[in-house]
Chain A
């Protein structure tokens, strides 16, 4: 009898351990859809937050599977819990559960315990392993997971391009960076950047010292040709600039500028101040009234072009910054500085 009893006990223990392994696998498969749904949702959030970065899809999918595995391992049932589960699934009327409890309490009415173990073995022998089915969960989590997975696959199958040459990506970024300054110039590397022309780059701070030299060393910038304006961006042409200025894009229209500059220019011209002469000539040139050559013939376009020439070699302009803010463009900064200098002088 003792042998029979220990045989029953060993049989039940081995069956319960097998059922428990299967229960863990069933828990894993049940959790896979939910965990994949969560990881894919994270992937989408990541992709939306970091618009230019494409998170690796496989990493997230693997993370989902690992999470499901972790979940199943954490919820691994005890032997008593497994017995309870099998009882419920196979309709054993708590025979296994009672037997599992008696396994842990030897000596508790041994004769009845032996009978219960024998009875439990008898009914368990007829229980197939598939009483704990191994199938992926089909609940609402699963449906959500497959919907999200479809979205992710659509997003993942979109063509991926290099950010430096991708036109689709560039346009939205520029429009997202805020209003485009009118006097900013995007310098193509091949069009007369100091480094490209073979000249030694000068210190950007020594702007006044180099102003005379720039007209000779960088003639295409000192006197911008229509080609350079149009190739940089067609909307930056003189006509477009004037139209936007008239529309008050820069804060002042032509009448306001005239009201500010006319008395100022006359006063300075009478006093013989060269800076005032330059400003006056510049304002006239803006209005298309022509002017003398050299510094006195400087237009806003030529000023900005000369400023653009101070960009260090190999460095692109700020418009390629991927961040929405991008900082204050240097050209705009200079323009604002000059504007306030004029205001101070006017006062």
Chain B
């Protein structure tokens, strides 16, 4: 078997796994196919996800189902104002040894898992939120000068409620920028809601079967990075990033008016990497303009810092990204 044929088979296996993971998650989460696809895209790109939606849409269930389908270790952190960083990353405890000698021992926190769900992250204090920064970026934590590597793969999914903002601490821009995707979970359709009712009120609850594991996920991540993006496609992604800045010549009027700060370079990385994963999941070895367009909203939406007028006029990130996509022609 030649190298190209072998690689072609691995790419085919990637597509198969990608589809099977999605199917397993959909056993539990009904009517959210685009959200599931975006979640798996971020997962294979080893990026973190911020989900946003009103309570009861199945955000937690989605992450749980994902971890089960991938046979990964899962942990959940419920954020509250009194949550401390030590509650997240762990702490040193004074333990008595077998011979009666006391010694400090590091007790790992819930962040030491493959898939970590941080519920309502905007209810945690900024001090606790910042505890996630190093973990998300460096995939390690440091306690009392001692560095501890996190599990590989490490996938953090945070949720936040866009309605109840009283008593919350909005995430700082630096932390928002570390999320690969921000996925808005929409309200399900009538048919999907009917199926949810049937599924959750019956005597048998479906359970996702593991179709991949951590090593398979790492393999998928390495394959994604071998997909090619032409210079034109890369330039298109960069132009999209530039157009999110009000001072850019390609920025649409709505961006000039409402965006206080545009996307960082991490936005371009997310666009291209997610475009590669999307292309591979659809059987291509190259990124197309459409791939980039399709991932533009989850990759760039949370990277725009809007001004006061945007809030006052009800302008959303989605409408602004739509304007950017219309103003920048490939």
Interface residues of A (CB under 8 A from B): 1, 5, 84, 93-95, 97-99, 101-102, 109-116, 118-119
Question: Which of B7, B227, B231, B284 has the largest number of chain A CB atoms within 10 A?
Answer: B284
Asked whether B287 lies within 8 Å of A101 as measured between CB atoms, the reply is no
Q: Is the CB of A94 within 8 A of B286?
A: yes
Q: Which residue, of B228, B233, B288, has the highest number of chain A Cβ atoms within 10 A? A: B228
Nearest Cβ on chain B to A112's Cβ, whole angstroms: 5
* Sampled A-B contacts (27; CB under 8 Å): A1-B4, A1-B5, A5-B4, A93-B284, A94-B230, A94-B232, A94-B233, A94-B286, A94-B287, A94-B289, A97-B230, A98-B287, A101-B228, A101-B230, A109-B228, A110-B3, A111-B7, A112-B7, A112-B227, A112-B228, A112-B285, A113-B228, A115-B4, A115-B8, A116-B285, A118-B4, A119-B285
8 Å CB contact of A114 from B4, B229, B286:
B4
List residues of chain B with CB within 8 A of the CB of A118.
4
> Could you count the A-B residue pairs with CB atoms below 8 Å apart for me: how many are there?
60
Q: Which residues of B contact A93 (CB under 8 A)?
A: 284, 286, 288, 290-291
Query: A97–B232 contact, CB under 8 A?
Result: yes
Q: Is B11 an interface residue (CB 8 A)?
A: yes
How many whole Å from A102's CB to the nearest CB in chain B? 7
Q: Closest CB of chain B to A4's CB: distance in Å? A: 8
Q: How far is the CA of A113 from the CA of B286 in the complex (A)?
A: 10
Chain B residues, CB < 8 A from A95: 284, 286
* Closest-CB distance, B6 to chain A (whole angstroms): 8
Lowest 10 CB-CB distances: which A-B pairs, in order?
A: A93-B288, A98-B286, A1-B2, A114-B4, A111-B3, A98-B230, A94-B288, A116-B285, A97-B230, A111-B7
Contacts of B287 in A (CB 8 A): 94, 98
Interchain CB contact under 8 A, B226 and A112: yes
Q: How far is the CB of B226 from chain A (nearest CB, A)?
A: 5
Assess the B290–A101 pair: CB atoms within 8 A. Answer: no
Q: Which residues of A contact B288 (CB under 8 A)?
A: 93-94
Question: How far is it, in angstroms, between the C-alpha of A114 and the C-alpha of B233 when the chains are bound?
Answer: 20
Of chain B, the residue at the smallest CB distance from A95 is B286
**Cβ-defined contact, B228 with A116, below 8 A:** yes
A114 CA / B2 CA spacing, docked (Å): 11
The CA of A67 and the CA of B288, in the complex, are separated in Å by 36
CA separation between A129 and B291, bound complex, in Å? 26
Point out the residues of chain A lying under 8 angstroms from B230, CB to CB: 94, 97-98, 101
Residues of chain A with a CB closer than 8 A to B231's CB: 101
* Contact partners of B226 in chain A: CB under 8 A: 109, 112
Not counting A93-B288, A115-B7, A116-B285, a sample of 14 additional A-B residue pairs whose C-beta atoms are within 8 angstroms of each other reads: A5-B4, A93-B290, A94-B232, A94-B289, A97-B230, A98-B286, A101-B230, A102-B228, A111-B7, A112-B226, A112-B227, A113-B228, A114-B4, A116-B286
Q: Which residues on A sit within 8 Å (CB–CB) of B291?
A: 93
Bound complex: CA A98 to CA B228 (Å): 7
Q: Please give the distance in Å from B229's CB to the nearest CB on chain A.
A: 8
Measured between beta carbons, the chain B residues less than 8 angstroms from A5 are: 4
Q: 1/0 per position for B206-233, CB-CB distance to A under 8 A?
A: 0000000000000000000011111111
B233 cross-chain contacts in A, Cβ below 8 A:
94, 98
Which chain A positions have C-beta within 8 A of B2? Answer: 1
Q: What CA separation (Å) do A115 and B228 show in the bound complex?
A: 11
Chain B contacts for A94, CB-based, 8 A: 230, 232-233, 286-289
Distance between Cα atoms of A320 and B82 in the complex (Å): 109
Instruction: Quote the shortest CB–CB distance from B330 to chain A (angstroms).
Output: 8
Which B residues touch A98, using CB under 8 A?
A: 228-230, 233, 285-287
